[in-house]
């Protein structure tokens, strides 16, 4: 049952991403907006996904460096590949048990502006929560882009089932 997983909200978020990627046609998925840093929906989905890749890569060493992003360009243009990767990540997230949430981690992320912050202490639960909120931000950008392409995402896109009461 999904409720037994530490990463239940992350799993639900990635399932929403899969629903949208599956529903889009290739043209909309690959479309790029020059006025938005030459990015489009596929780029945004790739960008949110790569942080999950970094989390999983750093998990065994309990050391996550979010500045080590490696762009998987195929994810940006190949919906089938993106769906396979999202599906695999959901499977990986299901390996986190509730007890893993308190696992101490060292994390690093450049805040921008050329400032180096170094490593900070965190926990797996905190990082998973960060990713859910980050995903919602990217879902907002994706929804905006899709509306500009005359494609309306579902009203609940980017809203977790636990907070869907806000729609009523």
Which residue's structure tokens are 């060493």? 61
Whole-structure pTM value: 0.89
pLDDT of 23-49, one tens digit each?
999 999 999 999 878 899 999 999 999
Cα 42 to the chain's mean position, in Å? 12
pLDDT band at 113 (very low <50, low <70, confident <90, very high): low
Give the Å distances, CA to CA, from 57 to 54, 60, 65, 111, 161. 5, 7, 9, 21, 28
Domains of the chain: 2-163 (1.20.120.450)
Say whether pLDDT at 160 is over 80.
no
């Amino acid at each position: 049952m999904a409720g037994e997983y530490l990463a239940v909200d992350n799993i639900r978020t990635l399932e929403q991403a899969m629903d949208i990627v599956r529903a889009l046609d290739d043209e909309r998925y690959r479309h790029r907006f020059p006025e938005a840093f030459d990015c489009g929906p596929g780029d945004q989905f790739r960008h949110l996904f790569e942080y999950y890749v970094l989390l999983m890569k750093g998990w065994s060493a309990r050391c996550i460096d979010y500045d080590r992003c490696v762009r998987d360009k195929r994810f940006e243009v190949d919906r089938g590949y993106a769906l396979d990767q999202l599906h695999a990540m959901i499977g990986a997230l299901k390996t986190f048990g509730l007890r893993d949430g308190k696992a101490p981690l060292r994390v690093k992320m450049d805040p921008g502006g050329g400032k180096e912050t170094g490593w900070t202490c965190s926990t797996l639960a905190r990082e998973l929560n960060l990713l859910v909120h980050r995903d919602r931000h990217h879902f907002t950008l994706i929804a905006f882009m899709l509306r500009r392409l005359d494609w309306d995402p579902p009203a609940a896109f980017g809203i977790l089932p636990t907070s869907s009461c806000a729609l009523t």
